[in-house]
Amino acid sequence: MPPEDIGPVMLTPVGDQRYVIRKGHRMLVRDWEIGPHGRFGLASVIGPDLLENCLVRIHSRCLHGEVLQSDDCDCGSELDMALDLIQDANAGVLIYLEQEGRGAGLIAKARAYQHGERTGDNTYASYRALGLPPDSRTYEHAVAALLEFGLRSLRLLTNNPEKTAAARAAGLVVTQVPLHTPPRSERARRYLEAKRQYGHHLPTYRRWRLRLRGSRDFW
């Protein structure tokens, strides 16, 4: 869709710019709420200037992967890698969306995990078995925020072609930059394989094993 077909979102500044110490280095950050009272999420502009063709990460919240540091998915690892790249470039945007559980919410996500543990189904099949869409996330609010920031070109840090398609449909010039993080468990490997089968641009990972001494390796 052309840019004018995406209505404006409410971007509300959250305080003044500030420095955050991350991994021993200072990172300049400016934050905006997306939508009324941050209903749709948060946008963080990193670095002193917002540059055309900068790195952008559109990321949906994952309590297990980011806060609990679960080894069962790649959400925390992807976010960490994306922030490393943006911080190294000293210019970029993080769009952090309130879309837990691929948009179904935390409770539905927990139920799907329980179903998968009982049946061996992957998360996509588990969602369907529970009568839920396998992925109900949308990206129009993220794209509208990028347009309101005045961006016309960007390098999108993602393996998900739907994010790239949403940005291009709004008239943005997008270069997709893959984020490939090795799985940290056999369950994570199966999760990544399911994502690859459902269209994500991911390599095929070999089976995962844990050596007796605790070091991780792949078959």
Confirm if 77 and 192 have CB atoms less than 8 A apart. no
The residues that bridge with 13 in the sheet, in sequence order, are 32
End-to-end alpha carbon distance in the chain: 45
Alpha-helix residue ranges (DSSP H) falling in the chain: 75-89, 106-119, 123-129, 140-148, 161-169, 186-197
135 tagged catalytic:
yes
The token duo for 196 is: 């690859």
Spot the catalytic one: 31, 72, 74, 135.
135
Confirm if 64 and 73 have CB atoms less than 8 A apart. yes
Q: For residue 201, give the nearest of 164, 174, 149 by alpha carbon.
A: 164
Confirm if 139 and 167 have CB atoms less than 8 A apart. yes
User: Would you give the DSSP letter of residue 62?
Assistant: -
Spot the catalytic one: 102, 137, 189, 190.
137
72 tagged catalytic:
no
CA–CA dist 58, 172 (Å, integer): 14
Phi, psi of 157 (to 5 degrees): -85, 95
Active site residues: 135, 137
